[in-house]
Every structure is written in structure tokens, then in C-alpha cells.
Amino acid sequence: MNTKANKMSWDLDTIFPGGSESAEFESFRMTIDADLEAAEESLAGLPRKTDDTAFDKWAEFCATMQNLGERIIHGEEFSYCLTAQDIDDEKAAALLDEMISRAGSWQSIMTGVDEFILGLDDDSWAILVGHEKLSGTMFYWNERRFNARHRMEAKLEKLAAGLSGDGYHAWARLYEHIAGGLKVEFISDGKSETLSMGQLHNKFSSADRDIREQAFEKLESAWGSVESQAAMILNSQAGFRLKLYKARGWESPLLEPLMIGRLKQETLDAMWSAVARAGKSMADYISAKKKLLGIENFRWYDQRAPISKIDKSVSYEEACDFVIKYLTEFSPDMGKLARTAIDDRWIEAEDRSGKAAGGFQAELFVSKQSRIFMTFSGDYDQMMTLAHELGHAYHSYVMRDLDYFSQLYSMNLAETASTFNELLVTDAAMADTDDPSEKLWLLDRKIEEAFGHFCDLRSRFLFDKAFYEERKKGILSRKRLCELMVESQKIAFGDILSEDGYHPLFWAAKSHFFDTESPFYNFPYVFGYLFSGGIYEQARREGSSFADKYKALLLDTGSMTCEEVAKKHLGVDLTTEQFWNQSVDRVIADIDQFVKLSQQV
């Protein structure tokens, strides 16, 4: 591998040398297996009477399970990195399956803990959770007890957890395998090249509409070839969830994502109400953008179209330097972490075939490090992805010395630091130029993010809601799934997309619909975008002095609900529309500026 490739390829050997053939990783896994077996035996022998000795033994066991859970997720994340860097690494895929199975075994043992804590009266519970070995993770344990009260009896939850590894979660792994294997032949400048779905996705930011149209056609064709399999997977996953929810007595499929998100229904409703209000302004933005693009009809593949031929291509090194510079200006701590991630090769950024699609940050808890996966093709969007994922890495870095259970923040708050970074770097780029055309171009990229959250992500939420409502009555055909997708897009986008501009197969092409860890994996992004906007606005007012407050906020994300974090650190009530309307208004102000500036250049 050449020097340039090395700079853009991550180093996984510092975690476990040898990749999927690593002897150290094998030893790590075998130790986990032995510890899982020992934990199963220990659980059976723990006292059921609540005296001081019993509390000591149970607290010790719970602390042991925390350590074991941390190691399992560490191994799972490492395995996921292996599969992402090489989709043809069958050994890595098998390792990931194994780690997910171990996580299921861990969860199965934890149902035994749930059974015990549910049998405690409130006074006894207060003694146990206040034990010195558990007091640092009190929020986690209180939440776990609350959630356990809303589930099936322990032996049934244990059975469900055990079966899900080779059933429910296996469907997600099958989807990832199918998606990773999809390739297309793409024609550009008279030359043909084979592209993965990740590489194809980057074509949607091309200034050439013919390129974007071809990318869309190739995308639809690729997913159309596996449409039956995707429909089977989606229906099966939803069927599993709905049957499990019914057994637990849960009436709404939103209950689980709200519990996972540590969010109230009132907060979610207030947020979506504010987003829906922004529809007219989004239409004004696209109307101005169409004039700049010189097009009559706006289609799905035009969402990321640049409005001018300004050459904003950047090298990987330039993108790294730019991001580090402006993160450092706000917080030297953030800049230091970013520099470490880049210099120590925590980032897999090489643009090559054989990689999985998309981008992510993997948190390797035991090593107290992150790894970032992306495909850097040299444009502004990838620089924003770099900033985004470095935000996730900083969030993990801030929390690295907390107990593992106190590092487990909700999906909604997971997007806080990543979106904050995007806003900071985008505004830095705008302030870095005096060229009105370039400012307009950058402003477009900024508003494009809002457009994606307010329209695209809203359409995903609407699809999920409609899909689960119909899935209660039976299997949905491929045709019906496409119809629901278009219907949802029509509501979310209003009249913005032309009649021939929808994306019927988006339900198949978007991996988030198939995520078994996070159902309704859509609104957390919108929440994070608007919540981060509120935080960023306060940071703009207070300047670098806000950095310590920001760090304190991130520290609390694993031990509070979303509403509690907002109340403590921002002094706002998320269950009312006031905060959300203010966040939306900030976006609308950018749109007004964009429309005015578009008329001047």
C-alpha cells in the first residue's frame, strides 16, 4: 500500500494486530466466553434474601457485568470495523456474528438481574443502587429497573434475547451483506468504472446533472435487483418487533425508540410540529436554487447539487488542517483530539472499492479510542463528514473515563457533538472568504443540511409510522412499500419534488430502516440537528468561554434524559415548541439570506 493510502487508512493493529486473523483478538474472545460462563454460574448462586451481604454480592456481580458488557461491545465494534474495510472478509463477518451472539448472551444474563431487581421493594432498591460499586451508574440502573417493569417476565425476555441473535439481528446482517455486495458499472468521461454503493453515493454531489441522473438510475437499478430480498427482510424485522411489543403490552411501535432515546412523546411532537412549519421556507429555498441551477423540475437526485462551478475540491490533508484549525479556535481540547485522530490514523478515508457504504464512528471502549470510517473523494461534503465524525469522537473522548454504563448516551444526544462540529466548520468556511459567489455556495451547503433534516428525514419518519401501522395487518408487498415511500415524500417535501422526482426504492436503499439496534432511526438526527443548533447559538454568543460548559453538557449525556440535559445546561423545556421554533427560525434566517444573495450574484 502506498504512502498516500497509508495516511488515509486507519490503523486497527493497535487495537488487535492481525485483523480478522488476530491471535490477540481470539484470546480476547475466549476470555469473554469463559467470563460469560462464569457469570451464568455466579448468577445462579447469588442470594435472593436482601441483607447487607446479599447487597455486596449483587453489587459486585453488577459491576462485573458492566465490565463484561464493555469488553463485548469493544470486540463488536472492532469486528464491525473489519467488515467495513473489506466487505469480502468472510472471517470478519463471522467474527461480527459471534460478537453479536455474545452480546445476546450477556443480555440474557442481565434478564436474571432484572428479575432480582424487580423483586426488590423501593427501600431495598435504594440501598443496592446506592452501593459504592453502583452509585456512579445510578441513572443506568434506575432506568433499567423502570424499563424492566415494562417488559415480559424475565425468562421470556431471556428467550427473546437468545433467539434474536440468529433471528432478528441476523436479518440486519443479511441486509448489510447484500448492500455491501452491490456494485454498478458507471460511465464517466467515456470511461467505465465499477463502484460500490458508497462510491456511487458521492456522485450525487456532482455539478453535472447527467452524472447525478445516471447515479440515481444506477442506484434504483441496483436496489431493484434485490428488491424482493429487501422487502422480505424489512417485513420480517417489523413482524418480530410487533410480536415482541404485543407480548410486552406495548401499544405503539414508537415506545421502544422513545425509551432508547430517553425522550418524551411530547418532546417529539413539539419538534415535528416546528419542523412542519418550515415547509414554506424550504420551498422558497429550492425555488431560488432551481433558478441558480437552471432547471425547471427538482428531483431527488438534485438535493446535493452544487449551485455553481466553484472549485471547492480539497485534498484530505487540506480538509484535516481546516477542520483542526477551527475546532482548535473554539476549544483547544477539541483540536487536540482531532489532531490525535488524524496523526494516529484513527480514520479510514481511502476512496477505493471493496469498502462498505456510508460513514460511522466506532467507539472502542477498552482502548479509550475511536475509529472513523468514511470514503473521502475530495469535496466539501466529505470535509463535513470528517468534521461530523470527529464530533462523535470528541464526545467519546470527553466521556472516556466515566464508568461504561455512564457513557451510554441516547441516540438523540448522539448527534449533538457531530452536528455542532458541522455548524462550526461551515460558518468558519463562510467567514474565511469575501467572495459573494463562494459565500452563497457555502450557505447553500449549510441550508442543504436543514433541507435534508426537515424533508428527507421527516419523510423517513412518516414512512416508518405508516409502514408499522400497515404491517400490523400483514405483509406489505414491494409495490406497497414503494407507494408508502412516495406518499411520505409527498407530505414531507410538499410541492418541492416534481412528479417524476421521487425515490420509490428509498425504503430499500437506506440502511437505517433495517437497523435492529435503533428502530425509527430517523428522528434522532433531526433532534440532534436542532438541539445542536441551540447549543451552537449559545456558543456563538459566549465564544470560547462556552467550551467548558459544552464539555460539561456532553459529560451528562449518558446519565440524564434529553429533557434533563436541556433543562440543566440550556435552561429550556423541550416539551414545548418554543425551543424548537427558535431553532427552526435560525435556519429560516439563513434561507432568507440565501434568497437575497442569490438575486445579487
Residue 438 has pLDDT above 90, yes or no: no
- C-alpha cell belonging to residue 107: 443480555
Strand partners for 373:
348, 360
On whether the CB atoms of residues 569 and 260 are closer than 8 A, the answer is no
Q: What is the DSSP letter of 515?
A: -
Distances (CA, A) of 303 to 187, 209, 298, 306, 425: 21, 11, 8, 9, 21
The dihedrals phi and psi of 191, each to the nearest 5 degrees, come to: -115, 145
More confident call, 379 vs 273: 273
For 234, how many CA atoms within 13 A lie in the half-sphere containing its CB? 29
Q: What is the 3-state secondary structure (H, E, C) of 253-297?
A: CCHHHHHHHCCCHHHHHHHHHHHHCCHHHHHHHHHHHHHHHCCCC
Strand partners for 192:
187
- C-alpha cell belonging to residue 221: 437499478
Residue 310: pLDDT band (50, 70, 90) is low
CA distance 279 to 450: 11
Taking only the tens place, the pLDDT of each residue in 3-62 is: 344 789 999 999 999 999 999 999 999 999 999 999 999 999 999 888 888 999 999 999
Question: What pLDDT sits at residue 159?
Answer: 86
Residues with Cβ within 8 Å of residue 249, at least 6 apart in sequence: 150
Q: In terms of DSSP bridges, do strands 183-188 and 347-348 run parallel, antiparallel, or are they unpaired?
A: unpaired
Question: What pLDDT sits at residue 470?
Answer: 98
Taking only the tens place, the pLDDT of each residue in 226-236 is: 999 999 999 99
Which residue type is seen at 452? Answer: G
Taking only the tens place, the pLDDT of each residue in 532-542 is: 999 999 998 89
Question: What pLDDT sits at residue 433?
Answer: 85
Which residue type is seen at 290? Answer: K
Residue 340: pLDDT band (50, 70, 90) is very high
- Region 404-429: mean pLDDT is 92
CA distance 307 to 291: 9
On whether the CB atoms of residues 354 and 196 are closer than 8 A, the answer is yes
Q: Is 314 helix (H, G, I), strand (E, B) or coil?
A: coil
Residues with Cβ within 8 Å of residue 453, at least 6 apart in sequence: 275, 525, 526, 529, 530
Which residue type is seen at 51? Answer: D
Q: What is the DSSP letter of 361?
A: E
Kindly report the length of the chain. Answer: 601
Taking only the tens place, the pLDDT of each residue in 348-403 is: 999 988 888 788 999 999 999 999 999 998 887 889 899 999 999 999 999 999 99
CA distance 259 to 314: 41
Q: What is the DSSP letter of 433?
A: -
Taking only the tens place, the pLDDT of each residue in 542-591 is: 988 899 999 999 999 999 999 999 999 999 999 999 999 999 999 999 99
On whether the CB atoms of residues 9 and 346 are closer than 8 A, the answer is no
- Region 75-82: mean pLDDT is 98
pTM of the model: 0.87
Q: Is 186 helix (H, G, I), strand (E, B) or coil?
A: strand
Q: Alpha helices, DSSP H only, in 356-435?
A: 380-398, 411-414, 416-431
On whether the CB atoms of residues 461 and 523 are closer than 8 A, the answer is yes
Residue 189: pLDDT band (50, 70, 90) is confident
Question: What pLDDT sits at residue 503?
Answer: 97
Q: Cell 463562494 maps to which residue?
A: 438
Residue 280 has pLDDT above 80, yes or no: yes
Cα(first)–Cα(last) distance of the chain, in Å? 45
Residue 308 has pLDDT above 80, yes or no: no
On whether the CB atoms of residues 470 and 193 are closer than 8 A, the answer is no
Helices (H) and strands (E) counted in the chain, each on its own, are 27, 5
**Domain ranges across the chain:** 3-166
Supply angle C-alpha 566, 570, 572, rounded to 5. Answer: 65
Residue 309: pLDDT band (50, 70, 90) is low
On whether the CB atoms of residues 267 and 531 are closer than 8 A, the answer is no
Q: What is the DSSP letter of 20?
A: G
Q: Which CATH class is domain 3-166?
A: mainly alpha
- Region 453-459: mean pLDDT is 96
Chain-centroid distance of CA 432 in Å reads 30
The dihedrals phi and psi of 183, each to the nearest 5 degrees, come to: -140, 155
Distances (CA, A) of 496 to 88, 219, 303: 40, 21, 11
Residue 255 has pLDDT above 60, yes or no: yes
pLDDT, averaged across the chain? 93
Residue 113 has pLDDT above 50, yes or no: yes
Which residue type is seen at 222? Answer: A
- Region 407-431: mean pLDDT is 91
CA distance 122 to 132: 18
On whether the CB atoms of residues 355 and 389 are closer than 8 A, the answer is no
* CA-closest candidate to residue 244, choices 170, 159, 117: 159
User: For the packed helices 316-330 and 332-343, what is the interaxial angle rounded to 10 degrees?
Assistant: 150
* CA-closest candidate to residue 522, choices 446, 455, 443, 439: 455
